[in-house]
Amino acid sequence: MKRTLITVNAFFKHIILLARPHIFLGFLAKPFLFFSNVISLSRWISQQPKTGIFNDFFSLKRDYIRRYTLYQYVVDTQHLQDEAIDYLELGVCGGQSFEWWLASNRNPASAFYGFDTFEGLPENWGVFFNKGDMSAAVPQLTDTRAEFIKGLFQQTLPPFLQTHALDNGKRKILHLDADLFSSTLFSLAMLFPYLKKGDILFFDEFNVPNHEFFALKTFTDSFYIQTELIGAVNNYYQVALIVKG
């Protein structure tokens, strides 16, 4: 019986591929992906704790400044202020969030790495932002713990990981703020070997269904890594997750 079903399934699959459905149904690909991700995001949200952690869901108004309250909450509850950490920010732009994190930590053994093209987004992001938007000058900082790595993550992360010993026992704080699915997934996959229990992931535009959320979902589904929400603001626009293992 099973063998017959497999044969029938294969037959229909071959017929569908022969019919080249992209020609007459191609316009459905993007909306179907979007609705699929909206449903996954909604399910994910329904599974998150609403009490016992810092979470403002549901709030009517988005206040971008509230993300700093989330950062401070995590610094306080995870006792990060004096700990030696490796902070990696993927998507720096003008350096606002990067500078916040640099100022929040006092340990001289901490390292702060900021990755960006500094020439803007490498591809369009949704309908409002185009390739090249968000370009900014590389921040000039006096704190010697800070290092900026200019270029596409896809080109800079592999050599960076060969020259920087990230398997050093320090807690990793990854700040994923590249907005795009491709950039976020690539970064998570590259940094996966260095992630340990207790490391923290921040996302800055998490509740955008086809981008940062989809990247985390694809990453956790594919790498069998477990994370737990420890804080969220602006209806999950900004989230902090801790690696459980």
Cβ-proximal residue to ligand SAM, closest one: 91
Provide the token pair at 12.
Answer: 């229909």
Gyration radius of the chain's alpha carbons: 20
Q: How many residues sit close enough to ligand SAM to count as binding (CB under 6 A)?
A: 23
For ligand SAM, give the closer residue by CB, 178 or 208. Answer: 178
For residue 190, state whether it binds ligand SAM (rule: CB under 6 A): no
220 binds ligand SAM (CB under 6 A): no
What's the closest the beta carbon of residue 184 comes to ligand SAM, in angstroms? 8
Backbone phi, then psi, for 169, in 5-degree steps? 85, -15
219 binds ligand SAM (CB under 6 A): no
Q: Binder to ligand SAM among 104, 117, 210, 238 (CB under 6 A)?
A: 117
Q: Are residues 200 and 74 in contact, defined by beta-carbon separation less than 8 angstroms?
A: yes
Question: Which residues, in sequence order, are CB contacts of 239 under 8 Å at separation 6+?
Answer: 70, 202, 203, 206, 229, 231, 232
Element spanning 231, H or E: strand 227-233
Contact status: 208 vs ligand SAM (CB under 6 A): no
Closest CA to 206 of 104, 98, 62: 62
Q: Which residues pair with 242 in a beta bridge?
A: 200, 228
**Looking at beta carbons only, is 17 or 103 nearer to ligand SAM?**
103
Q: Return the range that interacts with ligand SAM (CB under 6 A); candidates 22-30, 116-124, 138-146, 212-220.
A: 116-124
Q: Which residues bind ligand SAM (CB under 6 A)?
A: 89, 91-94, 96-97, 115-117, 120-122, 134, 152-154, 177-180, 183, 204
